């Protein structure tokens, strides 16, 4: 499976105009920050005294507008939200870091990004704050080893979003957040009137119109909804680069596009037991063996290092599969035959999990391939579809000899390689202001 998502660096190299686009976006971002007063520490700190809440209003405006546009594009099928990087949630360290940053914001009058905007306009306080940030980042890097377990594990939830936390549709989250923001806009102005003695009559008269448009857009996102996994699956295409051998001529390289069903019908995602076994010793990839069978079958017999994720629970692990593994991770699904693994494959690829393959013939084929010398495993003539085709004397899990074949004995295995690594999207950073 190979439909590459090139990195920004690769795109930039191929199209130098991309650098111009980056410069324009950066200019617009910096201009907006300075125009909103984000380069003035007095204005930034004033929000904590309720006398000037421009920071809150500007940031929440950016958040809700981006959210409405993002999930509107998702609902219309223009964007796959699974391909949008969501920073993993580290609740404990996030709370501690938020408190540290919040206190620093009050005392210093800046957050990291606003200090850059201030420093770029020649303000000494912004420069000093930015310098302090660099020193703090250096000290963190030098001391992180002493609290790394807590930092990485306490309150870790992986990729999680509000719709998952509350079990409600994305559209409902959009509506709720937009109305929360509108209420905060109104409340912020009341606080400015009371504590900052601000004359609200001088505020732009188009504010109610903007609020109504934003609310209407939020409801539109709600009614559009989000595409189902089936809709996503039906729209999937896979691009593969294939080499065609020619008689008395050089091989031809062709790029072909397949639908998801064509990938299955052409057996392009089914890998032999030999390839699945060899992947374990291939330093260019990180194979993860996902056993989608029931816990009972898994306990009877499973391939060494295989992780049991029953098919009905596959959607629960998708956030982890999208967030954590390195870019060269390959997922190899297996059931007793192929039926359950095929359904799991459809679920994962529709959710944009990259590099997913199916063990050809399932665990039964693995045993038939590697278990010829294991006299304890006898064929079961009464086995039905996608059931274990062997009789096991005991539930030994991965302790049968064929669960972990000897790599030296099978060193000369030959097979047609099907695995083609798909490039994974890069992480992207974030920040305030």
**pLDDT tens-digit map of 21-45:** 888 988 888 888 888 888 888 888 8
The answer to whether the CB of 213 falls within 8 A of the CB of 61 is no
The answer to whether the CB of 244 falls within 8 A of the CB of 254 is yes
CA distances from 66 to 62, 69, 213, 222 (A): 6, 5, 14, 15
Q: What is the pTM of this model?
A: 0.74
Distance CA 134, CA 88 (A): 23
Query: What per-residue confidence (pLDDT) applies to 433?
Result: 47
Query: What per-residue confidence (pLDDT) applies to 8?
Result: 44
Q: CA angle at residue 407 from 378 to 280, to 5 degrees?
A: 95
Q: For residue range 86-99, what is the model confidence (pLDDT) as tens digits?
A: 888 888 888 988 89
- Listed in sequence order, the residues at least 6 apart from 102 whose beta carbon sits closer than 8 Å to its beta carbon are none
The answer to whether the CB of 261 falls within 8 A of the CB of 409 is no
CATH homologous superfamily for 234-403? Rhodanese-like domain (3.40.250.10)
> DSSP state, 286?
E
> DSSP state, 144?
G
Q: Give the pair of three-digit tokens for residue 401.
A: 């000899």
Distance CA 405, CA 132 (A): 56
- Listed in sequence order, the residues at least 6 apart from 54 whose beta carbon sits closer than 8 Å to its beta carbon are 36, 37, 43, 47
Q: Where are the domains of the chain?
A: 8-227, 234-403
Query: What per-residue confidence (pLDDT) applies to 127?
Result: 92
Helices 314-323, 339-350: axis angle to 10 degrees equals 50
- Which SS3 state, helix, strand or coil, does residue 392 take? coil
Task: Using the structure block, give the residue that is written with the tokens 């306490």.
Answer: 154
pLDDT at 156 over 50: yes
| Torsion angle defined by CA atoms of residues 131, 98, 322 and 426, in that order, rounded to the nearest 10 degrees | -10
Cβ burial 149-167 (10 Å sphere, 16+ → b, else e): eebeeeeeeebeeebeeee
User: pLDDT band at 324, cuts 50/70/90?
Assistant: low
- Which SS3 state, helix, strand or coil, does residue 379 take? strand
Stretch among 224-238, 242-256, 331-345 having the lowest mean pLDDT: 242-256
Distance CA 54, CA 189 (A): 9
- Which SS3 state, helix, strand or coil, does residue 412 take? coil
Q: Is 107 exposed, middle or buried (0-12, 13-18, 19+ CB in 10 A)?
A: exposed
Query: What per-residue confidence (pLDDT) applies to 158?
Result: 79
Average pLDDT over residues 64-86: 88
Percent of the chain with pLDDT strictly greater than 70: 93
Residue by residue, DSSP assigns 21-63 as HHHHHHHHHHHHHHHTTTT-HHHHHHGGGTS--HHHHHHHHHH
- Which SS3 state, helix, strand or coil, does residue 255 take? strand
User: pLDDT band at 6, cuts 50/70/90?
Assistant: very low
Q: For residue range 286-302, what is the model confidence (pLDDT) as tens digits?
A: 999 999 999 999 999 99
């Amino acid at each position: 499976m190979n439909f590459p998502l090139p990195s920004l660096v690769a795109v930039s190299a191929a199209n130098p105009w991309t650098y111009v686009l980056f410069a324009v976006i950066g200019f617009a971002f910096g201009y907006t920050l300075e125009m909103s007063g984000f380069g003035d520490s007095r204005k930034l700190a004033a929000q904590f005294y309720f006398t000037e809440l421009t920071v809150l209003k500007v940031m929440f405006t950016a958040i809700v507008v981006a959210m409405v546009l993002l999930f509107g594009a998702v609902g219309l099928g223009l964007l796959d939200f699974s391909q949008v990087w969501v920073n993993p949630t580290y609740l404990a360290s996030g709370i501690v870091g938020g408190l540290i940053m919040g206190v620093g914001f009050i005392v210093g009058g800046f957050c990291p990004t606003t200090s850059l905007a201030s420093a770029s306009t020649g303000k000494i306080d912004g420069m000093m704050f930015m310098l302090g940030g660099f020193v703090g980042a250096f000290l963190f890097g030098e001391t992180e080893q002493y609290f790394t377990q807590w930092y990485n594990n306490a309150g870790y939830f992986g990729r999680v979003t509000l719709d998952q936390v509350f079990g409600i549709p994305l559209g409902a989250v959009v509506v709720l957040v937009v109305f929360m923001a509108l209420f905060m806009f109104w409340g912020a102005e009341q606080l400015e009137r009371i504590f900052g003695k601000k004359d609200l009559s001088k505020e732009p008269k188009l504010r109610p119109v903007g609020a109504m448009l934003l609310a209407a857009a939020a409801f539109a996102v709600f009614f559009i909804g989000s595409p189902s996994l089936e809709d996503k699956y039906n729209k999937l295409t896979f691009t593969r680069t294939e080499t065609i051998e020619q008689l008395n001529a050089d091989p031809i390289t062709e790029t072909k596009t397949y639908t998801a069903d064509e990938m299955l019908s052409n057996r392009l995602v089914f890998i032999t037991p030999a390839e699945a076994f060899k992947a374990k010793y291939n330093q260019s990839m990180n194979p993860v063996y996902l056993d989608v069978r029931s816990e009972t079958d898994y306990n009877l017999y499973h391939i060494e290092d295989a992780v049991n994720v029953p098919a009905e629970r596959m959607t629960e692990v998708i956030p982890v599969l999208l967030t954590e593994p390195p870019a060269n991770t390959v997922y190899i699904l297996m059931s007793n035959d192929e039926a359950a693994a095929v359904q799991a494959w459809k679920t994962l690829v529709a959710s944009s999990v990259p590099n997913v393959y199916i063990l050809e013939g399932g665990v039964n084929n693995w045993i038939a391939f590697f278990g010829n010398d294991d006299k304890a495993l006898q064929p079961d003539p009464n086995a039905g579809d996608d059931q274990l085709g062997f009789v096991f004397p005991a539930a030994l899990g991965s302790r049968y000899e064929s669960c972990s074949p000897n790599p030296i004995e099978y060193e000369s295995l030959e097979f047609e390689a099907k695995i083609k690594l798909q490039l994974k999207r890069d992480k992207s950073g974030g920040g305030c202001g």
